[in-house]
Structure 1
Amino acid sequence: MATPMMQVELAGHTLEYDWWGPPPGKAPTLVMLHEGLGSVGLWRDWPEALSKATGMGVLAYSRAGYGRSSSVPLPRPLDYMTREAVDVLGPLLDALSVQSAVLLGHSDGATIAAIYAGSVSDMRVRGLVLIAPHFFTEPEGLEAIRAAKTAYEDGDLKERLTRHHDHPDVAFYGWHDAWTDPGFADWNVGDAIDHWRIPALVVQGAEDAYGTLAQVREVEERAYSPVEALIVDGAGHAPQQDAPEVVTPAIAAFCGTLMALEDAPSEAQ
């Protein structure tokens, strides 16, 4: 069992986290929310690259059951993403003294960020970067998730995940079994988009096996706040890994625009 960089006690769990770049109070914070099989370590060197590209502090944490964070009982509840958004994310920002933030999520993490922005009134959160978000189930995505079980049980996926998770079975089956539960077929959190009041950048790989461009259209059709969409040709479910030369500058430009708006004097001044 490896030792995490830093830990915080929250909601009955010990959560690992790490920080790159300036602390709160010195600059806004980019808060990274990992995918369904992700963790702090699986972001690899991207948080540092994002901090350098944006000038922001970057915070990443592993949700309970992932990385070096404490475990959770299985099965996970089918509304686990909503529970993370409502019960954990806000208290985490409080505990780590985040003052101004942009939420950056990938896959499940993007959905959690989207739910938070649509259900929690938090003036600290100034924008969203959603990479491969999902708001409803699609046959293509469910097929890919079922195929992942074969890779986990018969291939090398478990071995690869064990390098990054203290509880790999909890990480994998907590994700897989929720998504493939018959009760999950009708899952839909698109109404969270209706309540956004902050700008969003949505990034989607054109070849994503876990979600189609229908997820992006859902945002474009429902959001009242400004939305930018970046479709990355040739990229799969992790366009930040497949095409960092495209995705990182786009995120830096989006965050730069947000920060310029923050710093601009109001008309009243």
Structure 2
Amino acid sequence: MRSDWVDIPFDGRCIRIEYQWLRPERAQRPLVVFLHEGLGSVSMWRDFPRSFCEAGDFRGLVFSRYGYGRSTSRPHDEKWGVDFMHRQAREALPALFEALEIGADSSHGKPWLFGHSDGGSIALIHAASFPDSVDGITVLAPHILVEDVSVQSIAATRRAYLETDLRSRLARYHDDVDSAFWGWNDIWLDPAFRQWDLHALLPQLRCPVLAVQGENDEYGTMAQIEGIHRYAPQTALLKLAPCGHSPHRDQPEPLTQAAVRFINAHTSYLK
């Protein structure tokens, strides 16, 4: 499917964001906005967003964040800070929603956020920071704290990028693969990032939350989604096995069934 682009303000300049609408003709149905993982992009989702929207009769929006896919690349000398996910959630995402007329008072209405990994964390931060901006969120393998297993696996990914064909495989999904990889990898392995933590934000979540984790996730443990439930008791948990860090690839059918039911049960309007 062909991508479109929209310009948004971010960090004092204009950046270009790649995006695709899915099933826009279903104007009266919920809009699901997909937030990709730390090395993801529009194309790296493959066919899951469309299949998911067809299963639930939803509309969808898929986009590549700054530094990923066909969006504006991160300059190689630009280092992301510990707050990079907070900035995506509080600055870049609202700017994108304004540009595409998404929101309670806009033509597309309030969205559901569907985030994977870093995208799940961004969904949590956005929903906690702007409680009235979304109908609900579904988060797959989200991070709310930095665990040893996360750092160890990300360090292993760094070695694979330098020593195997991982770089060439990822290059199919990004205009500037080194920009995408090192922006993500460098900050996650920065010792200062070990203090990154979302616990203080979680009680601010007011919307319905479905939190999903694979029992074999190599980047995080059940402490991630159980922590969300502890601080935001309205959270429903879905634990999948056998399943690694990507439930939408490892267990697409049970994930789709559960998430479609959850969205339909908690959407503020259904027509």
With structure 2 as the length reference, what TM-score do the two structures score?
0.92
Residue of 45, 70, 73 corresponding to 1:71 = 73
Residue of 6, 26, 29 corresponding to 2:28 = 26
Q: Distance in 1 between matches of 2:120 and 2:249?
A: 16
Residue of 233, 238, 241 corresponding to 2:246 = 238
Residue of 109, 115, 124 corresponding to 2:119 = 109
Residue 76 of structure 1: CA displacement?
A: 1.2
Residue of 97, 120, 135 corresponding to 1:126 = 135
User: 3-state SS of the aligned residue for 2:201?
Assistant: helix
Aligned residue in 1 for 2:7 = 9
Aligned residues of 1:13 and 1:64 also touching (Cα < 8 A): yes
Q: Distance in 2 between matches of 1:202 and 1:216?
A: 6
- Letter paired with 2:82: L
Aligned residue in 1 for 2:106 = none
- Letter paired with 2:69: G
Aligned residues of 2:34 and 2:61 also touching (Cα < 8 A): yes
Residue of 28, 37, 56 corresponding to 1:35 = 37
- Letter paired with 1:160: R
Residue 144 of structure 1: CA displacement?
A: 0.0
Partner deviation per Cα, 1:129-153 (whole Å, 9 max, x = no partner): 0000001100011000000011101
Residue 193 of structure 1: CA displacement?
A: 1.1
Residue of 201, 206, 210 corresponding to 2:210 = 201
Aligned residues of 1:24 and 1:97 also touching (Cα < 8 A): no
Aligned residue in 2 for 1:262 = 269
Aligned residue in 1 for 2:92 = 88
- Letter paired with 1:101: P
Matches for 1:98-247 after TM superposition, within 5 Å = 98=102, 99-121=109-131, 123-224=132-233, 226-247=234-255
Q: Distance in 2 between matches of 1:23 and 1:113?
A: 25
Partner deviation per Cα, 1:85-116 (whole Å, 9 max, x = no partner): 00011121121122121000000000000000
Aligned residues of 1:200 and 1:228 also touching (Cα < 8 A): yes
- Letter paired with 2:122: I
User: 3-state SS of the aligned residue for 2:259?
Assistant: helix
- Letter paired with 1:14: R
User: 3-state SS of the aligned residue for 1:27?
Assistant: coil
Q: Distance in 2 between matches of 1:254 and 1:78?
A: 32
Partner deviation per Cα, 1:129-187 (whole Å, 9 max, x = no partner): 00000011000110000000111011111001100100101111111100000111111
Aligned residues of 2:74 and 2:180 also touching (Cα < 8 A): no
- Letter paired with 2:183: G
Unaligned 5+ residue runs, structure 2? 103-108
Aligned residues of 2:128 and 2:205 also touching (Cα < 8 A): yes
Percent identity over the alignment?
A: 39
Q: Distance in 1 between matches of 2:26 and 2:130?
A: 21
Unaligned 5+ residue runs, structure 1? 265-269
Residue 4 of structure 1: CA displacement?
A: 6.0
Compared CA separation, residues 28 and 263, structure 1 to 2 (3 A):
closer
Residue 27 of structure 1: CA displacement?
A: 2.3
Which deviates more, 68-77 or 166-175? 68-77
Q: Distance in 1 between matches of 2:157 and 2:165?
A: 11
Aligned residue in 2 for 1:267 = none
- Letter paired with 2:67: G
Residue 241 of structure 1: CA displacement?
A: 0.3
With structure 1 as the length reference, what TM-score do the two structures score?
0.92
Q: Distance in 2 between matches of 1:167 and 1:240?
A: 25
User: 3-state SS of the aligned residue for 1:185?
Assistant: helix
